[in-house]
Amino acid sequence: MSLKTKAYSLGLDFGTNSVRALIVDISSGQEISTAVVNYPSGEAGIFLDPKDPNLARQNPADYVETMVKVIRQALSLAKRTRKNFLPEEIIGLGVDTTGSTPLPADQKGLPLAFHDEFKKNLNAQAWLWKDHTAFAEAQEITELAAKEHPEYLARCGGVYSSEWFFSKILHCRRTDPKVFEAAYTWVEITDFIPALITGTLHPNKIKRSRCAAGHKAMFSEDWGGLPAKDFLGKFDPALGELRNRLYDRTYTSDQSAGQLTKSWAKKLGLKPGVPVAVGAFDAHLGGVGAGVAPGKLVKIIGTSTCDITIWPNDQPLADIPGLCGIVDGSVMPGYFGLEAGQSAVGDIFNWFVNSIQPGGPKKGSHEELTSQAAVLLPGESGLLSLDWNNGNRTILVDQRLTGLLLGQTLHTRPEEIYLALIEGTAFGALTIVKRLQEYGLKITEVINCGGIAEKNPLVMQVYADVFGLEMKLARSSQTCALGAAMAGAVAAGKACGGYARFEEAQAAMCGVKPASFKPRFGHHLVYQELYELYRQLHDAFGTRDWQGNLYHLMKDLLNIRDQQLEKARKMTSKKRSEKKKGG
Amino acid sequence: MSLKTKAYSLGLDFGTNSVRALIVDISSGQEISTAVVNYPSGEAGIFLDPKDPNLARQNPADYVETMVKVIRQALSLAKRTRKNFLPEEIIGLGVDTTGSTPLPADQKGLPLAFHDEFKKNLNAQAWLWKDHTAFAEAQEITELAAKEHPEYLARCGGVYSSEWFFSKILHCRRTDPKVFEAAYTWVEITDFIPALITGTLHPNKIKRSRCAAGHKAMFSEDWGGLPAKDFLGKFDPALGELRNRLYDRTYTSDQSAGQLTKSWAKKLGLKPGVPVAVGAFDAHLGGVGAGVAPGKLVKIIGTSTCDITIWPNDQPLADIPGLCGIVDGSVMPGYFGLEAGQSAVGDIFNWFVNSIQPGGPKKGSHEELTSQAAVLLPGESGLLSLDWNNGNRTILVDQRLTGLLLGQTLHTRPEEIYLALIEGTAFGALTIVKRLQEYGLKITEVINCGGIAEKNPLVMQVYADVFGLEMKLARSSQTCALGAAMAGAVAAGKACGGYARFEEAQAAMCGVKPASFKPRFGHHLVYQELYELYRQLHDAFGTRDWQGNLYHLMKDLLNIRDQQLEKARKMTSKKRSEKKKGG
């Protein structure tokens, strides 16, 4: 038994449907206990609107209620699994969340949804990251920024998204002015949670996350913080006014947001005064937990992907077209955080297996298709696919794109399509890496994590073969929560038994699995040829500057689709079945 | 009871797997009886070679044996179904067959395969239309003709096919010189059958079909018949020599090939001396049986399609790029016969249902998918497909093309893909009609027949909506055999109780079904927009002259595929499973 004092950190990971707590030994990164609690409201934690598929909101009370439960469960499990474990040995807390997930708050910084008047108003809840009700406002913001302040867009790939902070607030202003007027300010949940439990909720005290502000609210010190008041005021004078009640300073996640209050310490079963790190988005702390460093790319591969890397902020870095975000300190202080991603990866495989349901009974499972696809040589099927079933986040930043499968014959089999879909996502991933490299970021190591990376070795082997690079797997299977716990340890600092810097925490607390996927040279050569063909399709359908004229094609089809869906919605089902063809 | 003498005609339709006999009342076209007998040899009547997927041969003895059986069955059924029916009332016989299906014959015109020496030699059998062993020779012939005699290719779409007469003979010369040398001549089975039963098999007597010669052997009176001796001699001097032993006259199917000999009449149970029409290919007589006329297009829609129309031969007609054949008299005397086609239609739907097997158990049948697809509006799915899973016969004449599906999202459902595949074939069909119209052939009426046209009303309704034209169905469901019977009636002529001309036979004997599919204006408008998009994809991937550079893409993929398949063939299955990805 070691004589050294034990020190632990607790990471809280607020996901889309549930919250996870992870208690980690900060000397080794060993994961002592973990617990998950689902949000109780709505459908799997999300309020939906049957009349509007774009709407996705969450009950702020869910975060609070489940946080208490999940921490208590993790503590109780830690006591059972580690002899002599004491909650008092937890020296720091870190928080990561989804985002941009802002909520309207009152003058004390409390969610409007906590007031009876607004309890049932969907617009007074947290606007979940995947809420797309503000698509029109996003376009408006993009257009005006492109004209008047192109610098605002340069760091977020050239397009301001409907998922982001100001789009959502402006949409609220226009569709529910009562909520907008009742809101003193708006708070990302990644700022709300640490502020709540450290008693710093008040708008004058709350420390805003650099990560959230920089990636989703066009915040940069280069132009004095948030976008200018007169810029915001052009959309609506009230939005310009709101700017004064938001913030002009932001903090990186090595900073403490405050200390755990006595009353929250009691509720949570923790020691009062424990430092709580400034919050950040899940993928960014996931990158930290997977060991991100300059030259190392972390790929979080699930239903979609998030790619994270960093670059020293004292070295020159150009704006990189098509990247979702480049923000100084968003991942780790001292570095630009770079975020990219693919809008669908696992979702495409799931679509094929669950919606198309190929292969007849019993032959179309992921396992079965994977096993059959694994023996195919690259290119053997003659198929090629574009991975755009859910649009393209990086490098095209275009949701009005769709999937494409090419090369099918009368002999094409389901497992060949399955492999082509995997290869399509691999080519999409390589396109991101190539874009980074074009702008001087040499990527020499790829560390993968997330459900698909952990569960489907075929995907990882194809990625290794396509990239011509070893695919490593992060040691932890909960890198986001681990990254949050590391932020807790760094926010605590050396004096409280933690770490002075993220780099030190990484050296001690994270790593890769011993087994990895190595590229096969022969396969890589064929994939290089196939990638050239993929890239031609990609440029032909995805870019304006290609010499052909197919850029409009997917968009035209979507426009026709939208118009026909509108028509279909207006038809009663009776009328529709009368219209049945060949009846 | 009518006092008028009854007159019947018998049509023989030699298909790929079986032969059909049809006895028709020539005054009304009423079908008295029909019978089908399968060819006994090989697999479903076809000799295959496990080592060479391109090979497809047939036993000439099968045609003879099954012809006797099928005629006797049809006669016996006619006696049962029509009171007082007498075989002597059959006044003419007509024959249609697959083609180009040539066989090597001896000096008497008998198949070499009838000699013991060659009985088991696959090269001495009939070379079935879909035999593709001669792909290299076809390319060679195309290249030399393009250089020295472009006129030879102008009538067959610019490309000489591996399925055709001289490609097959040249391949035989090169791979089995013994068979080539033993063959005095080569005979299409469409010439062989009528000659056999009329005792005109001898190479000096046999009447060669205009249809077969013109479409598959580059025969035209414009250049003195078959291709020049010195042209053929350049591939091999012996091929040049063979030309002298082939033919320099051809006949249309209104002509009699001869009269039924006594001995054949006895074998078949018919009256001796009955005229037998000169043979023609199935689709051409199918066109006649469906009522083809100038301005009327007959579509025979099955696994693939054949489109047939005619044009008065005293009116100017340019060569039409991409059309498989334009031959004076190939369908009816006095008209150019025009043949076009799609390499796969029903085969694409079958591929989706049988190979991809979408929709899980019980939800993926043609019936189920049709019923779900029938309520979709045009464009509602956002999908668009190219119908090239088996290449493109017309208008691109390119087998090195493949399928393409574009527009899929994470919500795309199997029935939406099914409809998109149907629409893709409809757009392909419209592209053929538009090409005809560009060259002055106005198509005002479309008559459909074949399995898909008869069985799938959704396909017909989509075609009507896409074309903006009524889709009619031929009254007969065996238009090829009916056309053959009509040829018999015309070959018999007025003097023998038949007809003087095909037009008269058509007026009396064929028609369309009362029910048809009418275009829906709203649907047609949307399909016009979608067709524009289809056409852009079509031109981008299928033509060299498009401003982009995607023409090579499907071909590059096929080249990589072929190279990888070759590699895979060389790997033992053990080695292959060792190479398994992610193992």
Q: pLDDT band for B2, please (50, 70, 90 cuts).
A: very low
DSSP A163-222: TSHHHHHHHHHHH-HHHHHH-SEEEEHHHHHHHHHHT--STTTPPPBHHHHHHHS--BGG
Question: Which of B360, B374, B408 is opposite residue A582, by nearest beta carbon?
Answer: B374
Chain A interface mutation, best of B130, B343, B398, B409, highest count of A Cβ atoms under 10 Å: B409
Query: Which pLDDT score is estimated for B583?
Result: 37
Query: Which pLDDT score is estimated for B486?
Result: 98
Residues of B in contact with A358 (CB under 8 A): 356-358
Query: Which pLDDT score is estimated for A1?
Result: 39
Read off the pLDDT of each residue in B295-301 and give the average, rounded to a whole number: 97
Eight-state DSSP code of residue A301: E
Chain A interface mutation, best of B401, B408, B575, highest count of A Cβ atoms under 10 Å: B408
Query: Which pLDDT score is estimated for B99?
Result: 93
pLDDT at B578 over 90: no
Q: pLDDT band for A325, please (50, 70, 90 cuts).
A: confident
Q: Which residue type is seen at A73?
A: Q
Query: Which pLDDT score is estimated for A554?
Result: 93
Q: Which residues, including other chains, have CB under 8 Å from residue A447's CB and lie 6 or more apart? A: A290, A291, A292, A296, A297, A298, A299, A472, A473, A474, A512
- Contact between B565 and A380 using a beta-carbon 8 Å cutoff: yes
Exposure on the CB side of residue A9, measured as CA atoms within 13 A: 34
Residues of A in contact with B570 (CB under 8 A): none
- Contact between B553 and A406 using a beta-carbon 8 Å cutoff: yes
The beta strand positions in B417-548, using DSSP E, are: 445-449, 471-473
- Contact between B414 and A357 using a beta-carbon 8 Å cutoff: yes
Query: Which pLDDT score is estimated for A578?
Result: 63
Give the nearest chain A residue to B391 (CA atoms): A409
Give the nearest chain B residue to A454 (CA atoms): B582
The residue with tokens 């043949």 is: B339
- Contact between B407 and A402 using a beta-carbon 8 Å cutoff: yes
- Contact between B529 and A581 using a beta-carbon 8 Å cutoff: no
Query: Which pLDDT score is estimated for B3?
Result: 43
Question: Which of A533, A561, A577 is opposite residue B557, by nearest beta carbon?
Answer: A533
CA distance B253 to chain A (A): 35
State how far the Cα of A572 lies from the Cα of A551, in Å rounded to an integer. 35
Q: pLDDT band for B489, please (50, 70, 90 cuts).
A: very high
Give the nearest chain A residue to B546 (CA atoms): A548
CA angle at A289 for the pair A286 and A290, rounded to the nearest 5°: 85
| Alpha-carbon separation of residue B457 from A437, B353, B371, B378 (angstroms) | 55, 17, 10, 16
CA distance A577 to chain B (A): 6
Question: Which of A358, A389, A581 is opposite residue B357, by nearest beta carbon?
Answer: A358
Residues of B in contact with A403 (CB under 8 A): 406-409, 412
Q: Please write the tens of the pLDDT for every residue from A134-186.
A: 999 999 999 999 999 999 998 787 889 999 999 999 999 999 999 999 999 99
Q: Please write the tens of the pLDDT for every residue from B183-233.
A: 999 999 999 999 999 999 999 999 999 999 999 999 999 999 999 999 999
Question: What integer best gives the mean pLDDT of chain A?
Answer: 94
CA distance B96 to chain A (A): 28
Q: pLDDT band for A574, please (50, 70, 90 cuts).
A: low
No. of H helices and E strands in chain A? 21, 20
pLDDT at B14 over 50: yes
- Note whether A206 and A187 are within 8 A (CB): yes
Question: Which of B380, B408, B564 is opposite residue A526, by nearest beta carbon?
Answer: B564
Residues of A in contact with B546 (CB under 8 A): 548
pLDDT at A487 over 80: yes
- Of residues A567 and A500, the one with the higher pLDDT is A500
Read off the pLDDT of each residue in B473-493 and give the average, rounded to a whole number: 97
State how far the Cα of A408 lies from the Cα of B558, in Å rounded to an integer. 10
- Contact between B406 and A381 using a beta-carbon 8 Å cutoff: no
Residues of B in contact with A550 (CB under 8 A): 536-537, 540, 548
Query: Which pLDDT score is estimated for B248?
Result: 94
- Note whether B242 and B172 are within 8 A (CB): no
Query: Beta-carbon neighbour count of residue A252 at 10 Å?
Result: 26
- Contact between B412 and A355 using a beta-carbon 8 Å cutoff: yes
Cis peptide before A343 (omega within 30 of 0): no
Residues of B in contact with A537 (CB under 8 A): 550, 553
Give the nearest chain B residue to A409 (CA atoms): B389
- Note whether A375 and B577 are within 8 A (CB): yes
The residue with tokens 């060569």 is: B319
CA distance A434 to chain B (A): 22
Query: Which pLDDT score is estimated for A572?
Result: 64
- Contact between B406 and A402 using a beta-carbon 8 Å cutoff: yes
Residue A236: both structure tokens together: 């609506």
- Note whether A343 and A394 are within 8 A (CB): no
- Note whether B220 and B226 are within 8 A (CB): no
Residues of A in contact with B347 (CB under 8 A): 410
State how far the Cα of A274 lies from the Cα of B228, in Å rounded to an integer. 98
Residue A195: both structure tokens together: 């502020």
pLDDT at A5 over 60: yes
Residues of B in contact with A540 (CB under 8 A): 540, 548, 550
Enclosing H/E stretch for B243: helix B237-244
Q: How many inter-chain contacts (A to B, CB under 8 Å) are there?
A: 252
The residue with tokens 């708050």 is: A105
Question: Which of A347, A351, A406 is opposite residue B402, by nearest beta carbon?
Answer: A406
Chain B interface mutation, best of A408, A523, A555, highest count of B Cβ atoms under 10 Å: A408
Residues of A in contact with B355 (CB under 8 A): 410-414
Question: Which of A370, A381, A567 is opposite residue B561, by nearest beta carbon?
Answer: A381
Question: Which of A348, A460, A561 is opposite residue B381, by nearest beta carbon?
Answer: A561
Query: Which pLDDT score is estimated for A583?
Result: 38
The residue with tokens 């158990």 is: B361
CA angle at A410 for the pair B163 and B417, rounded to the nearest 5°: 135
Least trusted range by pLDDT, from A209-223, A317-331, B165-179, B378-392: A317-331
DSSP B162-221: TTSHHHHHHHHHHH-HHHHHH-SEEEEHHHHHHHHHHT--STTTPPPBHHHHHHHS--BG
Query: Which pLDDT score is estimated for A466?
Result: 98
CA angle at B244 for the pair B238 and B248, rounded to the nearest 5°: 140
pLDDT at A2 over 60: no
Q: Which residue type is seen at A516?
A: S
Chain A interface mutation, best of B406, B460, B541, highest count of A Cβ atoms under 10 Å: B406
Residues of B in contact with A410 (CB under 8 A): 344, 347-348, 351, 355, 389-390
Question: What integer best gives the mean pLDDT of chain B?
Answer: 94
Query: Beta-carbon neighbour count of residue B263 at 10 Å?
Result: 11
- HEC string for B98-160: CCCCEEEECCCCCEHHHCHHHCCCHHHCEECCCCCCCHHHHHHHHHHHHHHCHHHHHCCCCCC
Eight-state DSSP code of residue B499: -
Enclosing H/E stretch for A544: none
- Contact between A414 and B356 using a beta-carbon 8 Å cutoff: yes
Give the nearest chain B residue to A390 (CA atoms): B409
State how far the Cα of A126 lies from the Cα of A101, in Å rounded to an integer. 6
Give the nearest chain B residue to A412 (CA atoms): B355
- Note whether B112 and B104 are within 8 A (CB): yes
State how far the Cα of B144 lies from the Cα of B161, in Å rounded to an integer. 13
Pairing of strands A280-281, A90-97: parallel
Enclosing H/E stretch for B458: helix B457-467
pLDDT at B299 over 50: yes
- Contact between B351 and A412 using a beta-carbon 8 Å cutoff: yes
Read off the pLDDT of each residue in A197-205 and give the average, rounded to a whole number: 97
Exposure on the CB side of residue A443, measured as CA atoms within 13 A: 28
Residues of B in contact with A414 (CB under 8 A): 355-357
State how far the Cα of A493 lies from the Cα of A394, in Å rounded to an integer. 36
Q: Which residue type is seen at B130?
A: K
What is the Cα B580 distance to its own chain's centre?
A: 43
Query: Which pLDDT score is estimated for B156?
Result: 80
CA distance B411 to chain A (A): 7
Q: pLDDT band for A576, please (50, 70, 90 cuts).
A: low
Burial A562-575 (b: 16+ CB within 10 A, else e): eebeeebeeeeeee
- Note whether A44 and A64 are within 8 A (CB): no
Query: Which pLDDT score is estimated for B488?
Result: 98
Burial A193-226 (b: 16+ CB within 10 A, else e): bbbbbbebbebeebbbbbbbbbbbbbbbeeeebb
Read off the pLDDT of each residue in B249-261 and give the average, rounded to a whole number: 98
pLDDT at B290 over 70: yes
Query: Beta-carbon neighbour count of residue B110 at 10 Å?
Result: 18
pLDDT at B362 over 90: no
Question: Which of B378, B561, B564 is opposite residue A564, by nearest beta carbon?
Answer: B378
Eight-state DSSP code of residue A376: P
Query: Beta-carbon neighbour count of residue A383 at 10 Å?
Result: 26
State how far the Cα of A11 lies from the Cα of A21, in Å rounded to an integer. 6
Report the C-alpha dihedral over residues B444, B447, B448, B450, rounded to 10 degrees: -140
- Contact between B404 and A409 using a beta-carbon 8 Å cutoff: no
